[in-house]
């Protein structure tokens, strides 16, 4: 296994070596990471719900009622009645006929892509879609045509030049995970109608945050009922773990019977479902996204006033750096100064597009937001980015 060492050394030489950072706290604004207290500016716990008392209570209550494990796959022994409640709540939240919960968002994407299209079919995929979509496209054995990021003219060309009568599926993230920008859903939906292609949206970073009822980007753009397949995760703003697909009853029935990432894995443990159920209720009653959006507005204004060129349409605000070494040095310096924001490098982003992915939480105080912006500007100044 000498080759393993060579490969690891190669990653280290290229600045692409990764190591795990250990948290002694939960995903809270003031976290202890690798033994040091830092301001957390990288978490996907956008609404702070993994620490919300009612969400914790939902998890604990589920353990007390149903135990810690699910005992089997969904189709054998793993579907507790809690699942039915969660799937009803999600369908209601997403305003679809039904929903289906998976063990992760990754598996929900694999399920849709491998079940809905196959050999002889064509997928149209944004070039910056999440890795789980990329992997789903590969596994599906459908032909995948990648269109330039958010470029609907390019998408139109690809659709127009298509021959054959296989199925067509356009797939896009709702909010792009590393750039924080939004897919142009109204135009994509129109193209889907014009060229008879189904539309699938992965709203992993938008559920609970975008739209009047916070159901996500399709609601935000007013095209909710034009999306054929809604995918999302329970592990980011929802504060738990799991993924879901929402859509027609027929879609869900089909996935239950065909999706390998649904059939051949153990169901989620009861606390994960109890937490997700409680989180959906908290989103409806307390709407923590209001505070998140206030933080986003304040933070971006402070960075811009300080001379940093940031642009984002969401709670994910990347600080673009470029090369891998510089990106890591920037992140290390932030950590020294008491802010934890991870360095994002290839393969998560293209070469020379390294960045610090900052993400705000509803639980950041105004003081936290000012501190975060101040430290980022200080380090950006030191590294000649202003």
Whole-number Cα distances in Å, 311 to 63, 148, 178, 297, 327: 43, 19, 12, 11, 18
> Judged by CB, which is closer to ligand PLP: 185, or 369?
185
Asked whether position 105 contacts ligand PLP by CB under 6 A, the answer is: yes
DSSP state of 166: S
> Judged by CB, which is closer to ligand PLP: 265, or 337?
265
Tokens 């109890």, residue located:
274
Question: Quick one: which segment of 69-77, 185-193, 197-205, 272-280 binds ligand PLP (CB under 6 A)?
Answer: 197-205
Question: Quick one: which segment of 75-83, 105-113, 279-287, 311-319 binds ligand PLP (CB under 6 A)?
Answer: 105-113
Hey, what long-range contacts does 310-315 have (CB within 8 A, 24 or more apart)?
A: 312/179, 312/180, 312/181, 313/175, 313/180, 313/181, 313/182, 314/175, 314/180, 314/181, 314/182, 314/205, 314/206, 314/209, 314/210, 315/46, 315/180, 315/205, 315/209, 315/359, 315/360, 315/361
Distance, in Å, from the CA atom of 168 to the CA atom of 191, rounded to the nearest integer, reads 11
Backbone angles phi, psi at 347, to 5 degrees: -90, 5
Backbone angles phi, psi at 385, to 5 degrees: -95, -5
Q: Strand, coil or helix: what is 242?
A: coil
Question: Quick one: which segment of 101-109, 183-191, 269-277, 314-322 binds ligand PLP (CB under 6 A)?
Answer: 101-109
Indicate which single residue of 204, 280, 369, 379 sits in contact with ligand PLP (rule: CB under 6 A).
204
**Of residues 384, 210, 378, 373, the one with CA closest to residue 301:** 373
Q: Strand, coil or helix: what is 126?
A: strand
Asked whether position 114 contacts ligand PLP by CB under 6 A, the answer is: no
Asked whether position 130 contacts ligand PLP by CB under 6 A, the answer is: yes
Closest separation in Å from C-beta 165 to ligand PLP: 30
> Judged by CB, which is closer to ligand PLP: 86, or 369?
86
Closest separation in Å from C-beta 236 to ligand PLP: 7
> Judged by CB, which is closer to ligand PLP: 121, or 173?
173
Asked whether position 70 contacts ligand PLP by CB under 6 A, the answer is: no
Tokens of 8: 């690891």
Backbone angles phi, psi at 166, to 5 degrees: -70, 175
Q: Looking only at residues 209 through 238 of this chain, which bind ligand PLP when binding is defined by CB under 6 A?
A: 233, 235
Question: Quick one: which segment of 14-22, 102-110, 314-322, 368-376 binds ligand PLP (CB under 6 A)?
Answer: 102-110
User: Number of residues in contact with ligand PLP, rule: CB under 6 A?
Assistant: 14
Asked whether position 368 contacts ligand PLP by CB under 6 A, the answer is: no
> Judged by CB, which is closer to ligand PLP: 83, or 385?
83
Q: Looking only at residues 239 through 258 of this chain, which bind ligand PLP when binding is defined by CB under 6 A?
A: 243
Tokens of 26: 């939960």
Contacting residues toward ligand PLP, per CB under 6 A: 104-106, 109, 130, 132, 173, 177, 202, 204-205, 233, 235, 243
């Amino acid at each position: 296994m000498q080759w393993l060492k060579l490969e690891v050394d190669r990653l280290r030489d290229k600045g692409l070596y990764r190591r795990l950072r250990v948290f002694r706290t939960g995903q809270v604004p003031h976290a202890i990471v690798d033994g040091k207290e830092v301001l957390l500016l990288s978490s996907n716990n956008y609404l702070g719900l993994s620490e919300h008392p009612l969400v914790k209570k939902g998890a604990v209550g589920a353990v007390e009622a149903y135990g810690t494990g699910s005992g089997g796959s969904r189709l054998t022994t793993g579907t507790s009645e809690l699942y039915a409640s969660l799937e009803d709540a999600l369908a209601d939240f997403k305003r679809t006929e039904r929903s289906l919960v998976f063990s992760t968002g990754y598996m929900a994407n694999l399920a849709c892509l491998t079940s809905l299209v196959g050999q002889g079919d064509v997928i149209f995929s944004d070039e910056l879609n999440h890795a789980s979509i990329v992997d789903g496209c590969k596994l599906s054995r459908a032909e995948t045509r990648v269109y330039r990021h958010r470029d609907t003219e390019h998408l139109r060309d690809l659709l127009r030049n298509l021959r054959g009568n296989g199925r067509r599926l356009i797939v896009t993230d709702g909010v792009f995970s590393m750039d924080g920008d939004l897919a142009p859903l109204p135009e994509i939906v129109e193209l889907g109608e014009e060229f008879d292609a189904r539309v699938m949206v992965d709203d992993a970073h938008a559920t609970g945050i975008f739209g009047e009822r916070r159901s996500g980007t399709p609601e935000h753009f007013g095209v909710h009922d034009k999306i054929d397949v809604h995918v999302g995760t329970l592990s980011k703003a929802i504060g738990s773990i799991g993924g879901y697909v929402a859509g027609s009853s027929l879609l869900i029935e089909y996935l239950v019977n065909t999706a390998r990432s649904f059939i051949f894995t153990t169901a989620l443990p009861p606390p994960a479902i109890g937490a997700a159920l409680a989180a959906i209720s908290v989103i409806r009653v307390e709407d923590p996204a209001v505070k998140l959006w206030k933080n986003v507005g304040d933070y971006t204004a402070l960075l811009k006033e300080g001379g940093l060129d940031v642009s984002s349409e969401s709670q994910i605000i990347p600080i673009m750096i470029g090369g891998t070494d510089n990106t890591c040095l920037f992140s290390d310096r932030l950590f020294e100064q008491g802010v934890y924001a991870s360095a994002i490098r290839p393969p998560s982003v293209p070469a020379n597009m390294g960045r610090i992915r900052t993400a705000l939480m509803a639980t950041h105080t105004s003081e936290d937001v000012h501190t975060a912006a101040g430290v980022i500007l200080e380090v950006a100044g030191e590294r000649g980015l202003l």
